Amino acid sequence: MVNGNLDTWLHPEVVEANSLTLNLLQRLNIALDVASALHYLHNECEIPIIHCDLKPSNILLDNDMIAHVSDFGLARLLSNAISNFSQQQFSSIGIKGSVGYVAPEYGMGGEVATYGDVYSYGILLLEMLTGRRPTDEMFRDGLNLHNYVKMALPRRVVQIVDPILLTGGELENGAAAEEEEDDVDNEIMAEEDNRNIVSWGHGREKIQKCIVSILEIGLACSVESPRERMDMNDVTRELHHIRDAFLGSASTWTDHK
């Protein structure tokens, strides 16, 4: 598609770093697009479809930066026929996914289920906000992306998120500042500066609350126990609520701890 895949936007080459950037609202919208797609596959199709290989490089972005889930090469239909396969048969048909994104139960011969896609989606969310791949070399000796985020929330979130998300540019969705007249005296200008500082302070807090809420969903989706993971219907609903709050049409944030 016109804007390539999500992986190139999250991890641009050095020469592209200045041109390929996603702000928080864009990432939230992409997360919603992918969640909606998975909800459709899992809950709206006559026979549920399991993607089995969800990762940034399989998320394509069109001209309007709308995300589309692609590459169904490993996808499976959740039918009675498949559910009657033995664990050995599941292994033989290659339900592997991609390292770092594949649900841990698949590596132990577990049956293919929608929970597996939910896990991959959770890891995807964490990567989208931290800018770190689950295969980053820092993740070793028992440390993984899930635990890395979990240990930082909520007080140390600014230490783990993609720095781009904490810049003043994230406030572009708020009211635009009025241009100052050349003849405004120094006292009024000082007062205006103080208000701008307070406004940025409130804006930064709003951004952090939004980021924490999204990361908590990522954690809830990527827990080790499959049946404790969120359903994509719930994920979609919560992300809509978070976006409404970020844009100012809601006043509360959901706690997923």
What is the CATH number for 69? 1.10.510.10
Residue 254 belongs to a domain = no
In Å, how far from its chain's centre is CA 226? 19
The helix (run of H) or strand (run of E) holding residue 143 is: none
- Count other Cβ atoms within 10 Å, centred on residue 244: 13
Instruction: Answer for the pair 106, 112: CB distance below 8 angstroms, yes or no.
Output: yes
Q: Looking at residue 195, what is its pLDDT? A: 43
Residue 179 belongs to a domain = no
Instruction: Answer for the pair 50, 75: CB distance below 8 angstroms, yes or no.
Output: yes
Residue 134 belongs to a domain = yes
Mean pLDDT value across the chain: 81
Among candidate residues 7, 33, 53, 183, the one labeled active-site is: 53
Tell me 167's DSSP state: S
Q: Looking at residue 74, what is its pLDDT? A: 82
Alpha-carbon gap, residue 127 to 161, rounded angstroms: 9
Share of the chain above pLDDT 90, in %: 58
Q: Looking at residue 15, what is its pLDDT? A: 58
Asked, as a colleague might, if the bond just before 154 is cis with ω within 30 of 0, I would say yes
Q: How confident is the model at residue 156 (pLDDT cuts 50, 70, 90)?
A: very high
Q: Looking at residue 84, what is its pLDDT? A: 44
Q: Looking at residue 196, what is its pLDDT? A: 42
Which pair of tokens denotes residue 90? 């599941």
pLDDT at 202 over 70: no
For residue range 47-100, what is the model confidence (pLDDT) as tens digits?
999 999 999 999 999 999 999 999 888 887 776 435 444 444 444 344 567 899
DSSP string, 34-65: HHHHHHIIIIISSS-EE-S---GGGEEE-TT-
Residue 44 belongs to a domain = yes
53 belongs to the catalytic site: yes
Please choose, from the candidates 161, 183, 162, 164, the residue with its C-alpha nearest in 3D space to the C-alpha of residue 172: 164
For residue range 162-193, what is the model confidence (pLDDT) as tens digits?
999 987 555 544 333 333 334 444 544 445 44
Q: Looking at residue 85, what is its pLDDT? A: 44
Q: Looking at residue 66, what is its pLDDT? A: 97
User: In terms of DSSP bridges, do strands 76-77 and 49-50 run parallel, antiparallel, or are they unpaired?
Assistant: antiparallel
Q: Looking at residue 79, what is its pLDDT? A: 63
Residue 99 sits in which domain range?
6-172+185-246
Residue 144 belongs to a domain = yes
Number of domains the chain contains: 1
Residue 104 belongs to a domain = yes
Residue 82 belongs to a domain = yes
Residue 177 belongs to a domain = no
Q: Looking at residue 245, what is its pLDDT? A: 93
